[in-house]
Structure 1
Amino acid sequence: MILEVAMLDVKPGETVAFEAAFQQAQSIISSMPGYGGHQLQKCMEKDNRYLLLVTWQTLEDHTQGFRESAEYQQWKALLHHFYDPFPVVEHYQLVTGDKILES
């Protein structure tokens, strides 16, 4: 299992619109092969900062399967105009610990 991590800084004044757009966009990502789950968390110290966590079966499920798909173009159209600066996305593998992404 791979964990995708993205710190999302949303343009000031756009958080309500971003959250509404994300409600639509999450059905896109959750339909992709290799998708394992996601969380969008809002920062308590910075009102316009979010943390997106997505689990994938493999790195390629995200970097090739999702990012090279037509569905990604829909995701991009819904969300990418909200970010400033554009987020850096990183991928992680579990070394040790318990599951923390459960509801």
Structure 2
Amino acid sequence: MITEHALLPVVAGQEAQFEAAFARARTIIASIPGFQGLTLARCMERPSTYLLLVNWARLEDHTDGFRGSGEYQEWRDLLHCFYDPFPVVEHFQTVSVVPSRT
């Protein structure tokens, strides 16, 4: 499994609109082969910054499959207008996991 990581710098004052657009966009990405789930979290110290973590079966499911699809155009149209500056997207492979004791 590969985890896509992006800090999303949303233009201040547009957080509610971004979250509404993301609610629509998440169904788009969820339809892509290799998609294995996502988490969107809002920063407590910088409320205009969001952390997006997307799990993919393989790196190519994101880089070729999603980004090369027509669905990506829809995703981009819904979300990219909110970012300033445009986010850096990186991919991570799990090295170690420590399970919760609860």
Which TM-score band (shorter chain)?
Answer: over 0.9
Q: Quote the offset at 1:98 in angstroms.
A: 3.8
**Alignment TM-score, normalising by the size of structure 2:** 0.95
Structure 2 unaligned residues grouped into runs of 5+:
none
Q: 1:74 maps to which residue?
A: 74
Q: Quote the offset at 1:85 in angstroms.
A: 0.5
Closer, same or farther in 2 for the Cα pair 1:44/1:54, shift >3 Å? Answer: same
Q: Write the mapping of 1:38-53 to structure 2, written as runs, cut at 5 A.
A: 38-53=38-53
Offset from partner CA, 1:57-95 (integer Å, 9 cap, x none) = 000000000000000000000000000000000000000
State the one-letter code of the partner of 1:97: V
What is the alpha-carbon distance in structure 2 between the residues aligned to residue 79 and residue 96 of structure 1? Answer: 32
Closer, same or farther in 2 for the Cα pair 1:95/1:37, shift >3 Å? Answer: same
Offset from partner CA, 1:31-69 (integer Å, 9 cap, x none) = 100000000000000010000000000000000000000
Q: 2:6 maps to which residue?
A: 6
Q: 1:84 maps to which residue?
A: 84
What is the alpha-carbon distance in structure 2 between the residues aligned to residue 36 and residue 95 of structure 1? Answer: 18
**Alignment TM-score, normalising by the size of structure 1:** 0.94
Q: Quote the offset at 1:99 in angstroms.
A: 6.4
> How many residue pairs align between the two structures?
100
What is the alpha-carbon distance in structure 1 between the residues aligned to residue 7 and residue 86 of structure 2? Answer: 9
For the pair shown, the structure with the greater C-alpha radius of gyration is 2
What is the alpha-carbon distance in structure 2 between the residues aligned to residue 54 and residue 71 of structure 1? Answer: 16
State the one-letter code of the partner of 1:43: C
Please give the secondary structure, in 2, of the residue aligned with 1:47.
Answer: coil
Structure 1 unaligned residues grouped into runs of 5+:
none
Q: 1:28 maps to which residue?
A: 28
Please give the secondary structure, in 2, of the residue aligned with 1:96.
Answer: coil
Matched, 1:61 2:61: yes
